[in-house]
Every structure is written in structure tokens, then in C-alpha cells.
Chain A
Amino acid sequence: MVYSFPEEQYLKEKAHALRTGLFFRLEEFVDDFPTGSPGKLIDILKRILTAASDSIEAASDKRILILVYNAVHTLSEALDWLDNAHVSQTPRGLADFLDRIASMLAPSSMVLVAPSSKYNYSITDLVPWLTHFAQILVPPASQGSILSQLPQNLYLIQFPRIERENVLGHAVFGHEFGHPIAARFLQNYIATTEGQTHAHEAAREIAVVFQTELSALPPLGQMKAKMRHFQVVSQIHKRAIEELVSDAVGVFLFGPSALFALSDLFCQTELDQLPERGNYYYPPSRFRLREMHSLLEENGHLKALNELPGRGGAPLVSDAARSVLEYIGHLIADDLDRKNIGDEPHVSIAYRWVNKCLHAGHQYAQSEVGTLLYTVELATREISPLIDRLKMELPPSEIGIWPDETNADWRSAILSAWVMKFHQATNAGLGSSERRKKVVDTQRLALKGVEYCLLRDLYKKSLSPREEGYK
């Protein structure tokens, strides 16, 4: 049908209107952010949108204009993250410690922390996303100057908004930082001879376990069926390794705090749910707790916590730590998850495959964590004195007495607060509102402690040699 309406011109104007709409919304972000990363993201997005103007003008095909329009539309998702990344929604201490982890695990990376209305902890690298849209929206001649502004990684880290004050629960982020590490491990593992061997062994198991079904099929049907079964098994295996290696990273970064944070999270879920498509093949929660518990036992953290000394009226606090470990021990002693795994053929094949490579995954994770490893020696040295500080209603950030005080590790600040929280939350000698107040105070002191630990560390590193003598 022929019509005189200048459709392409009209679409160009729509694309421009959407582009400038997003540009001006970005200009409206005037609130303070806890770190420089939101500002960096805003800057990059504005550059892309500015350059997109030329692309829109140069477009001569309606399909390109629709592509550009949809690309700008998708870019506007960033407004949601930025809306809540400002300081009244994102505590500075949280942004600081996440930044610290990111910069040590992935130097030249940046972190954008934003709460989400969804109850989910997640980490996503925005650099591939931004690169993709820069390549659609920016003329080729200008792409280099914009892409060179991108950091190596720009991690969008989201947490449930209603958990903003639950600083101790944020130890879950150790797991989130584990995902890129787990992904690299899987990529490397699959390419190795060992990885290929394990995959073939799984394929042979499939042929045996599903023999009855397969033998009833013609040869082509058998091949298709085997591939289908293998696909399911490898998806279950992949997801298990992703989650379990990520959990291991959490343990290496945060020690027992990672276990406590995850067990808190799991108390609201079913512990023995079988990995299946409906739940994205996640390992049973009980299985994950057991693996983390086993790692902590191996590296001595559980023994150290169980042997926390009481001091002068303090035995109740350390008793709470022992009691929680006993409770978790009781949880993981229940075997229902393993029974469920064993009863389902795809899952049991996949988990035998997991057992063959998980140890290598743990070793890889530990080597990637490197010097950020939270050692049992550090915990043994610091947890008790930091608990003493919390009892005095002081931030758990220093060990010792002035002028010989030393800076604590910020992970110890979190772990000592966990132990204190268990004691306060279960203290039958307090009324319920007093228990709640004490737990809230401990959370705030923990956050302050983390901020102070990171500040002192940075301050000390920045001192020039001639000023060293003063501290």
C-alpha cells in the first residue's frame, strides 16, 4: 500500500525523543552515591546516547530505527539500578567492602551496588551489556573512544531492599563473587582431558541407566535420546558446580559468616528440593550447607569457633556459637537430600560427575581468592577481642589498647557480630523487644566496624614514610 506519511522520518523523531528522554532522566540523578561507580555508569550511558544521535540520523532503514529504539528502551533498565544506588538506600560500609572484594578479585573493576525490590542477591557484569548496546547505538568511528572508557568489569550487585540493614546477611555476597570464578573454572575444566573423560563417563552411565528405554528405539532415536538425557545431566552438573564452587568462594572470603548467612537464607526455603528444570537445577540447600560445613571443618574454622574462650562473664556468647554449629550439624546430618538425589537417575549421574571435579573446583576457587583468603589464624586471633568490643557497645574494628591497637580484618568484624547476634537473638534472659534492639544495635556496630577497618587500612597505606612515626 502506498502512503504519503513519512514513516522513517517519524520513527527517527520517536527514537530521538526516547534517546533524549533517557538522557535527561540520567541528568536528574543528583543524589549522593556511596562510590564513583554510579557516576561512571551515568557518564558512559550519556556518551552512548549522545553518539546515538548520529546513528539515528544516518539510519535509512526502518528496521535499523526499530533496533535503535528498542536498544534505548532496554538501556533505560539502568534507571532502576541507579534509582536506588544512592546513599540513603545503599549503606556506605556495604558498598565499600564489596568494592574491596571486587578490586582484589578483579583489579580494574568497579562495583555498582543497588537494592532490588526482588528478594534476590545477584552480581552481573555490565561491561558486556554496555558493549553490546554501544555497538548497536554508536557509529563505528566513535565506538573506540567510548568502549575505552569502560572498566574491565562493572559489577552490578543487587540485594533485597528489605534486607538493607541486615549487614551480616551480606556475607552472601561472597557466593555472588564466586560466580565469575566458577564460570572460569567450568570453562577451563571442560576443555581439559580430565573434563572430557568425566563427560564420557557420564555418557556411558546414561547408556546403562536408560538401557531399557534406549533399546526400544531405532539407532537414530537412540542417539537423540542419549543426547537429550546427556543435556539434562550436563545442565544439572553445570548448575551444581556453579553454585557449589561459588559457595566455596564465599567460605574462602568470609569463613563461617558465609555459612551463617546462607543458612539464614535457606531457613525460608525447602532444604531437599531436587534439582529440576522448574528450579533451574539448583542443588538442594541442605547439600550446599553440608559442603560448606565440610570445607570449614577442613580448614579449621569450625574448631576455632567451637573453642572460642569465655572470659569473665563471657561464656554465654561463645556458647551461642557452639549451639548454632550444633544446630547446623544436626541439619546436615539429615540425609534426605542425598536420598532424593540417588533416587532420580539424571540427578544421580550428574552428582557422581560433580563429585569427580568438585575438589578441583575448590582448589581453583582458593587459588583465585589468593591473598583475600580469610584464614583461621586471623579468626582465632581476632574474634574474641572483637566480641569483647561488641559487648562494650563499640564497633568491632580494633584489637588491643591504644597506642598499640591494631586494625582488625573487616571479615572478623562481621563474624564477631554473627556470634554476638546468635547470643542476643536467643537470650532467654531478655524480653523480645530488648532482644530485637540489641540485634539491631549489633548490626549497626558491625557496619561501623567494617567502615572503620577499611578506612584505617586505606589511611595507613596512604601515609608517607615521614608521617609513619606518628602512628
Chain B
Amino acid sequence: MSVLGRKRIMSALKEEDADNRLFISPMLDNRQIGDASVDVRLGHNFLTIKRGNLGAIDPRQKQSAPDRFRTRHQLDRGEAFFLHPNEMALASTLEYVRLPRTMSSYVTSRSKWGRLGLIIATATAVHPGFTGTITLELVNHGNVPLVLYPGLIVAQLILYEADGATPYQGELGLQTDLHPADISRDWQSDIHFWLPEI
């Protein structure tokens, strides 16, 4: 399983066969293609969880009206989002990504931001054949608030060759915006064994 270097990334972006082509769009600046990664930007939308009246998130219980516990922030270019110490927020990449079946990725902070305490993904894997914007889980592990703006390059994709994969068919694909998942709707078919009724 080899990491794709710059030349291989560029050749994947230019691939004639659309089924095997890597799509990262919009690629506003070719300098986003690094030595062995592709920088991606923050999108316009952020989502935070309101603590009040939310006891716990329990996979046993379907969340009713989950938007009651969420605050969506949709920022214009130049508008600030403040991520406070120990706070988590969902965001998404500005870019829409389509990985060919022969490629997978993980998304991670760019080092500069990582050193300030910004984690951009707690669930980092991007599966072969994934199509959509990538939801980022932003966490501030630093001691001071971080100011984030739409368009900032805070994350990067590390791309790998994938062998024998089937295209991603999960519920988190084909998103065009950040997507808060509902864990009570997980596919896990043996959930009732692990969470018996009281």
C-alpha cells in the first residue's frame, strides 16, 4: 500500500479514464498539490452541539429532532468561526472529492494547524470510491481559541493505492455539505445482541 507522491497524484487527476480519475474540485490553486498530499480547505458551514437539554448520545436511542441540539453556522467569505479550547465542531471541506476504486485516503491536519492544537478529523479514513465533500471533525486541543475562516487550508489528504476494494456505498457518501451522522441508524445488524432491551 503505497502513498501517492506528487507525480502520481497529478497523473491521477489527469487520468483519461473517468472511472479511474481522481476528482478534487474546485482545485483553486495548484499549489494545493504537495509532495505527497493534497491540501484541502474549510467550507462555509460549521455545526456545534448545544449542551443544554442533551443528556447523552446513546446508540440505543434514536435521536428525536436532533437539530434541536445543533447550531448551524453558515459563514460568508471573511467571517470568523471561533473554536474554543476543548470544543468540537463539524465542518466540511470546500472541495468535493471522488476517489477512484483503486485509491483510498486519510484526512489529517496540516502540521502548522496541528501544532496549534487543531485536530481536523477524529475519523480520518476516506474509503475507495468515496464521492462527496468530506466532513471534518474539528477539535481544539490547544489552550487558546482558534479563529477559522471559510477557505482556510487546514487539512490535507494523504492518498494511497487500494487493492481489491469495492466502491463506497455508505450513508456518508454523496454529501454536498457537512453531515452529522445518527449512530442509532448504524448498519450493525447484531446491535440488539450487544444492547439488549432492559
B-contacting residues of A (Cβ < 8 Å)? Answer: 32, 34-36, 87-88, 92, 388, 392-395, 397-398, 401-403, 405, 441, 444-445, 447-448, 452, 455-456, 459, 470-471
Contact = CB atoms under 8 A, between A and B. Distances in A.
B23 interface: yes
Contacts of B29: 470-471
Nearest to B22: A402
A441 B174 contact: yes
B57 interface: no
Interface in B31-79: 31, 44, 72-76, 79
B21 A456 contact: no
A401 B76 contact: no
B127 interface: no
B7 interface: no
B30 interface: yes
A402 B72 CA distance: 33
Contacts of A92: 44, 74
A132 to B, nearest CB: 30
Given A32-B75, A405-B25, A470-B29, 16 more contacts: A36-B76, A92-B44, A92-B74, A392-B18, A392-B131, A394-B23, A394-B96, A397-B26, A398-B25, A401-B15, A402-B14, A403-B14, A444-B174, A448-B176, A470-B30, A470-B31
A401 B14 contact: yes
A402 B27 contact: yes
- Most chain B CB inside 10 Å of its own CB: which residue of A402, A403, A441, A447: A402
A393 B131 contact: yes
A448 B96 contact: yes
A460 to B, nearest CB: 9
Interface in B1-35: 13-16, 18, 21, 23, 25-31
A411 to B, nearest CB: 18
A36 to B, nearest CB: 7
Contact of A388 (B18, B26, B174): B18
B25 A32 contact: no
Nearest to B95: A452
Interface string B93-134: 000101000000000000000000000000000000001000
Nearest to A458: B77
Contacts of B25: 394-395, 397-398, 405, 452
Given A32-B75, A394-B131, A403-B14, A459 B28 contact: yes
A459 B21 CA distance: 25
10 contacts: A32-B79, A92-B74, A394-B25, A394-B98, A401-B14, A401-B21, A402-B27, A447-B176, A470-B30, A471-B29
Contacts of A470: 29-31
A459 B25 CA distance: 14
Q: Which 4 A-B pairs have the closest CB atoms?
A: A87-B74, A402-B13, A448-B176, A444-B176
B91 to A, nearest CB: 14
Contacts of B98: 392-394
A270 B188 CA distance: 51
A445 B176 contact: yes
Contacts of A87: 72, 74
Nearest to A459: B28
A391 to B, nearest CB: 9
A259 to B, nearest CB: 26
- Most chain A CB inside 10 Å of its own CB: which residue of B13, B16, B74: B74
Nearest to B94: A455
A456 B28 contact: yes
B46 to A, nearest CB: 10
B12 to A, nearest CB: 10
A447 B133 CA distance: 13
B27 to A, nearest CB: 6
Nearest to A93: B176
A32 B28 contact: no
Contacts of A459: 26, 28
A397 B26 CA distance: 8
B126 to A, nearest CB: 15
A466 to B, nearest CB: 13
Given A88-B72, A401-B21, A452-B25, A395 B30 contact: no
A458 to B, nearest CB: 8
Nearest to A453: B26
B74 A34 contact: yes
Contacts of B27: 402-403, 405
A456 B26 CA distance: 7
A38 to B, nearest CB: 12
A393 B168 CA distance: 13
Contact of A35 (B13, B14, B76): B76
A410 to B, nearest CB: 13
A53 B109 CA distance: 53
